[in-house]
Amino acid sequence: WLRMREPHDHCARSVGLANAFAAAMGEGSSTVMEMACGLGSGTRFLSRILQADVEWLLVDHDPQLLAAVSKDMENTAVRYRTHQHDLRDLGGLDVSVHGVTTQALLDLVSHDWLVQLADWLAERRIPLLAALSVDGRVEWTPHDPRDTQVQHAFRTHQTWDRGFGPSPGPRAATVLKALLEERGFSVRLERADWHIPHTDTAMMSSMVQG
């Protein structure tokens, strides 16, 4: 699934926000952490945009994913190291970095965890680039009369506990925006929509089944 969705993730992501993130970190060498890195899709996207001398710290709780990252980083010039850590213990993540990125994470965590993240970033005064958060919008073509019912069930499911506690789900990005602004951050939100053509049958089938 992670490999299948990567092209759609990269097409959806905002180059403008990536450039703003780079500007917020400033010039010179830097260390950037990707939280919940999976197979490093976010790092591969951003490494083509960030022109500075960057070393990546790839953090995930899953040792199997971290072991597989090196294969998915083949044929890239990305400098990285991995770090296994359970992000539910955000306070125990004692690392020195110049910026934090993550994708497809915010809608999985709890409101309390988002508060902890905002505090963690504020203590260090470093920028965050968080991409691909579910916001509840899905449009199918052709339309089916049951789409609304299915999407209501999906949005409800997004608020369940996925290991961090009850989640804001589709509201996660706007919740974190408010928390960061309360702590003095300037925050920009942009849409990052997947557009899956009918010819991509494998991805379409996974979306329907999921």
Q: pLDDT tens-digit profile of 73-113? A: 988 899 999 999 999 999 999 999 999 999 999 999 999 99
If you average pLDDT over residues 27-32, what whole number do you get? 92
In the chain, what is the greatest distance between 2 CA atoms, to the nearest angstrom? 54
4-8, 151-155, 177-181, 194-198, range with the lowest pLDDT: 151-155
Tens digit of pLDDT for each residue in 161-178?
988 999 999 999 999 999
Tens digit of pLDDT for each residue in 107-149?
999 999 999 999 999 999 999 999 999 999 999 999 999 999 9
Question: In whole angstroms, what separates CA 25 from the centre of its chain?
Answer: 18
Judging by beta carbons within 10 Å of its beta carbon (0-12, 13-18, 19+), is residue 129 exposed, middle or buried? buried
Residues 48 and 15 sit within 8 Å (Cβ to Cβ): no
pLDDT value, residue 71: 87
Which tokens hold the place of 13?
């992501």
Neighbours of 36 (CB within 10 A): 21
pLDDT value, residue 66: 95
Whole-prediction pTM: 0.93
Coil, strand or helix at 158: helix
- The kind and range of the H/E element at 102 are strand 99-103
Tens digit of pLDDT for each residue in 36-77?
999 999 999 999 898 779 999 999 999 999 999 988 898 889
Residue 128 β-bridge partners: 100
Residue in the structure block whose two tokens are 């070393």: 55
Residues 81 and 54 sit within 8 Å (Cβ to Cβ): no
pLDDT value, residue 58: 98
154 pLDDT band, cuts 50/70/90, is: confident
pLDDT value, residue 157: 87
Residue 30 β-bridge partners: 54
Q: Does residue 19 surpass a pLDDT of 80?
A: yes
pLDDT value, residue 54: 95
pLDDT value, residue 56: 97
| Residue 89: half-sphere exposure toward Cβ, Cα within 13 Å | 9
Dist. CA 154–CA 177, nearest whole Å:
23
Q: Which has the closest alpha carbon to 111: 187, 161, 166?
A: 166
pLDDT value, residue 51: 74
If you average pLDDT over residues 4-21, what whole number do you get? 96
pLDDT value, residue 86: 97
If you ran DSSP here, which 8-state letter would residue 81 be given?
A: E
| Residue 155: half-sphere exposure toward Cβ, Cα within 13 Å | 13
